[in-house]
Amino acid sequence: MSDASPPELASPVAMTAPDGMLVFHPDRERLKLRPFKAWHHFRELLKDKENTEEVFKIFEALPSRDLDERSRRFVLSAAGQRIRECEPYLPVLLDDHDALRRLPEGSVAHAYLHFMESQGLTAVGLVEEYDKFQADRPKYGDLFDWYINRYRDTHDLLHVLTGYSRDALGEQCVLAFSHGQNGGLGNLFIAYAGALHMKKNFAEGAPVIAAVREGQKLGKACPRVAEMSIRDLLARPLEEARHSLNIQPPKLYQQCHEQWRAKGIDPFDLLAPRKELAAA
């Protein structure tokens, strides 16, 4: 007989929503904290910041401590049930660019369209990257999955609402913003470890640590975007939405960009001066 104990479950009770959907699948295992594994995947991420799979692996190695309870409260709330009924799968809504284009000029939807199309991004593209990461993992199909998928699917919307772009510092600031909203060691680890790496190697005196901290504070002051009706948010005027969500302009992030440009450094390619020096 084996001495191995069974894996700890995220919830010992098969709790269901009023429509019968499981909140937590009874076979779902609780993820364990693996800081050394997270560090390994962060080093891999430094080699290619577009390698989204490494980000997912870091989050898996640094699970959020209160995510189970937070998701349970939301999916069982009247607001959560109403949003789930109207928005069962966000990528369908976010990738319907024709419908978004019909919303008013100056809306969150139009800013989101500009961001996604200018960057060549789609909401389903991020889902596909996530599905590759999950290919050999169990599929549970519970409401916990639905809840955490909303964090994934609203990531690019946070870029639009905050004004952080997809440069290296912008990505770290968005993750810090996400930590301010939702907690999560993965968000905090990537944001500050990335900023420390930049400070050591590329910052050129720009206040990158302070910029990340500013993003964290902005996120804490903002209600959880993933728990809002995204359909309603997209239809609102962008500046009005920012004001109502307490999202202030990211001044220190903008200051970093200004300092880099004043030195002839492209904020979107901080390695360029070193490449030129190496070539010379």
Tens-place pLDDT, residues 180-229:
999 889 999 999 999 999 999 888 899 999 999 999 999 999 999 999 99
Tens-place pLDDT, residues 44-58:
998 888 888 899 999
Range 133-154 burial, b when 16+ CB lie within 10 A, else e: beeeeeebebbbbbbbbbbbbb
With a cut of 70, list the residues of the chain below it in pLDDT: 1-14, 271-280
What distance in Å separates the CA atoms of residue 262 and residue 222, rounded to the nearest whole number?
A: 32
Looking at residue 12, its pLDDT comes to 41
Q: Give the Cα-Cα-Cα angle 120, 126, 132 (nearest 5 degrees).
A: 130
Looking at residue 191, its pLDDT comes to 96
The mean pLDDT value of the chain amounts to 90
Cα dist. 237→79, 166, 233 in Å? 23, 22, 9
Task: Tell me which residue of 248, 246, 55 sits closest to 152, measured CA to CA.
Answer: 55
